[in-house]
Amino acid sequence: MKQRPADDYVHVSSVNWQPFPGEFSGGGIRWKLLHVSPEVGTWAAIFDCPKGSSFASHIHIGPGEYFLTKGKMEVRGGQEKGGATASAVGYGYEACNARHDQTHFLEDSEFYMTFLGPLQFIDKEGNTLAVVGWEQAQALWAQQTGQS
């Protein structure tokens, strides 16, 4: 018989930040991976984003929810271009297949986010550069922190 998966707890403050790959971001974004759920493909992480940093263009393959605890974030071009400009404390729901060409941080910011499914990073023509889900996130985190 199958068992219920283990509950999990992470004291986030005790975990060290790791650099988020420059391939997927600019301006010194750091992250902590908090959880992966391999069966359904969800994962949770927290991101530290200095003023002026940004994420590369990506599509949310499934819905994602962020909780901005510090700073100011422009999503989908920001409020002026039909997207959202989030200010702490802010919550956002990004729908399945939401495309984020522009995610900028106007102040030093921090947000926690839960993802269903991967991020599909794309170039300007929409070609896929990388698909980053629970498995790739876990592999990167393990490599950065020496876990096995």
For its own copies, the binding residues (CB under 8 A) are 1-13, 34-42, 44, 46, 61-63, 65, 67, 69, 75-76, 84, 86-98, 112, 114, 116-118, 120, 127-128, 131, 133-135, 138-139, 142, 147-148
Q: Smaller CB distance to its own copies: residue 20 or 66?
A: 66
Question: Measured between alpha carbons, how far is 145 from 132 in angstroms, rounded to an integer?
Answer: 18
Give me 1's structure tokens: 């018989």
Minimum Å distance from CB 71 to its own copies? 13
Q: Smaller CB distance to its own copies: residue 29 or 59?
A: 59
Minimum Å distance from CB 55 to its own copies? 16
Minimum Å distance from CB 113 to its own copies? 10
Minimum Å distance from CB 72 to its own copies? 11
Give me 116's structure tokens: 């269903």
Question: Measured between alpha carbons, how far is 77 from 43 in angstroms, rounded to an integer?
Answer: 25
Question: Measured between alpha carbons, how far is 139 from 128 in angstroms, rounded to an integer?
Answer: 20
Q: Which of 121, 58, 68, 130 is nearest to 93 (CA)?
A: 68
Question: Measured between alpha carbons, how far is 92 from 25 in angstroms, rounded to an integer?
Answer: 20
Q: Smaller CB distance to its own copies: residue 29 or 74?
A: 74
